[in-house]
Structure 1
Amino acid sequence: MTRFIDSFLKRLDGATEANIRSSARRNGRRSFLARTGLALMGAAISPVLPFDRRAFASEGGGADDPCTYWRHCAIDGFLCEDSGGSLTSCPPGSSVSAVSWVGTCANPDDGKNYLISYNDCCGKPFIPTATFCNNNKGERPGYQMGLYNDINWCTANTDKGYHCTVSVVVGTAD
């Protein structure tokens, strides 16, 4: 039995060596490094691929609709107020996203424009009964990442699961 295994391993070793030598004759080191670099770059970019939340969009817009609140002018996600958190803080057991998108919203009470940071809360599954808002004021195409709201921004966190979104005033836009 060991003679058979030794013979098989020698043939496998010889075939592997022949394939490697043949490949080395056909392809240079530079092409190998270029393909390897391209693969590594693709792997590094894949966490920022879009995550489309528009499927959860609902009809709305009435006076009692929380999505019409001025801070939510560019939000796209479930409201943390309905998910155990608040307007500005994530629910217990979730963590704020390391990256976010920013919108400029007008406060009707004082007439000023404010920069609003929309941060996803990550690490818990979303609650399907929470209010979903899809407001796209000022949204830009996906290649302008900081101004595009149709992405799961939790990809920068250890816990990648999306839960809800908070609306934090960063400052005035004027």
Structure 2
Amino acid sequence: MTELIDRLLKRLDRTVETRARRSARTHGRRSFMARAGAALVGVAISPVLPFDRRARAQEAGEDACEYWKHCALDGNLCSTSGGSLTSCPPGSEASAVSWVGTCRNPEDDKDYLVSYNDCCGKAGVSSATFCYTSQGERPGYRMGLYNDINWCMANANTGYHCTVSVVVGLADA
């Protein structure tokens, strides 16, 4: 058995060596380095490229604004303007203050505290999905529960871009 494995490994070794030598004769190091560098840059930048998450929500039969974590959201979805459901897009930063909503997850039928943070410091995007799903919204004098305020006012750059929703934990009964 080991003899068979040795023969197969030697054959594989010769094949790889022959092809490597043939490739070295026909292609220079510079062209290999250029192609390898382009491939590495492509792989490195692919997580940064924007993509439309609304298609996944529509395939699941739900509108992006009707996602359970967006029950008290009032603003542009960061997931449709270069960020994600929980992180701001490049070039913007999370607001220093936020508002909180209590949303029911239909999968486990439990209530969760969801923190809504505006992302500030970047111009708005006209193609972003705007949601106004203000379940349980409180009047303006209850600042921590009111979503109609420019929460970017606490940041150095007060320009509003979009809003992310982060689950903080289970809501107490």
TM-score (norm 1): 0.63
Match of 1:75 in 2: 73
Match of 1:129 in 2: 127
5+ residue gaps, structure 1 = 1-61
Match of 2:149 in 1: 151
* In structure 2, distance between residues paired with 1:160 and 1:134: 21
* In structure 1, distance between residues paired with 2:133 and 2:74: 6
* In structure 2, distance between residues paired with 1:103 and 1:97: 16
The residue type equivalent to 1:97 in the other structure is S
Match of 1:171 in 2: 169
- 1:76-135 CA deviation, whole Å, 9 max, x = no partner? 000000111000000011000000000000001111100000000000011011000001
5+ residue gaps, structure 2 = 1-57
Structure 1 residues 15-94: aligned runs within 5 Å: 63-94=61-92
* In structure 1, distance between residues paired with 2:127 and 2:62: 16
The residue type equivalent to 2:106 in the other structure is P
The residue type equivalent to 2:115 in the other structure is S
- Equivalent pairs, count: 113
* In structure 2, distance between residues paired with 1:93 and 1:108: 34
Q: CA deviation at 1:65?
A: 1.3
- SS of 2:90's equivalent in the other structure is coil
* In structure 2, distance between residues paired with 1:108 and 1:137: 15
Structure 1 residues 1-12: aligned runs within 5 Å: none
* In structure 2, distance between residues paired with 1:151 and 1:128: 20
Q: CA deviation at 1:167?
A: 0.2
TM-score (norm 2): 0.64
The residue type equivalent to 1:70 in the other structure is W
* In structure 2, distance between residues paired with 1:73 and 1:161: 24
The residue type equivalent to 1:145 in the other structure is M
* In structure 1, distance between residues paired with 2:90 and 2:103: 27
